[in-house]
Amino acid sequence: MKVLFICVENSCRSQIAEGFARQLGLDAESAGVKAGSGVNPGALKVMAEIGIDISAQFSKAIDQEKLTKYDAVISMCSVKTADFCPSTFIGTQANWNIEDPKGQELEVFRRVRDEIKSKVEELAKAEVAR
């Protein structure tokens, strides 16, 4: 399965999802409505805490022309925080409605990481069952 995880700046949530998906054997990438300044240090830290290194990943913007090459396009958009929601992009198949941890304490990053982990594991299990 080739999957794209998208969020606002491609600095936290989608980067975390990409890291988990790759660890689970999915062909995964991530992108944002706009490219941020890099992977958020909080995301790097909480992933390193569980042995996943995402330090080689980098922020990039969504390439509209490439969206059709993915089997799944999943938005991390949080309705609660009123993110600019990229779920309107052609090809988006799900919105996981995950809180943006940017600018918050590490505990929020950990909670978000664990929520994303659960959802990516469900996605990987569904792929194996296909």
- Please state, in angstroms and rounded to a whole number, the distance separating the CA atoms of residues 27 and 1: 6
- Please state, in angstroms and rounded to a whole number, the distance separating the CA atoms of residues 106 and 46: 7
Element (DSSP H or E) covering residue 28: strand 27-32
| Candidates 31, 39, 77, 123; catalytic one | 77
**Residue 12: active-site member:** no
Q: Which amino acid is at 59?
A: S
CA 6 vs. chain centroid, Å, equals 6
| Candidates 7, 26, 43, 47; catalytic one | 7
Residues 6+ apart with CB under 8 A from 64: 89, 90
- Please state, in angstroms and rounded to a whole number, the distance separating the CA atoms of residues 80 and 70: 27
The set of catalytic residues is: 7, 77, 85
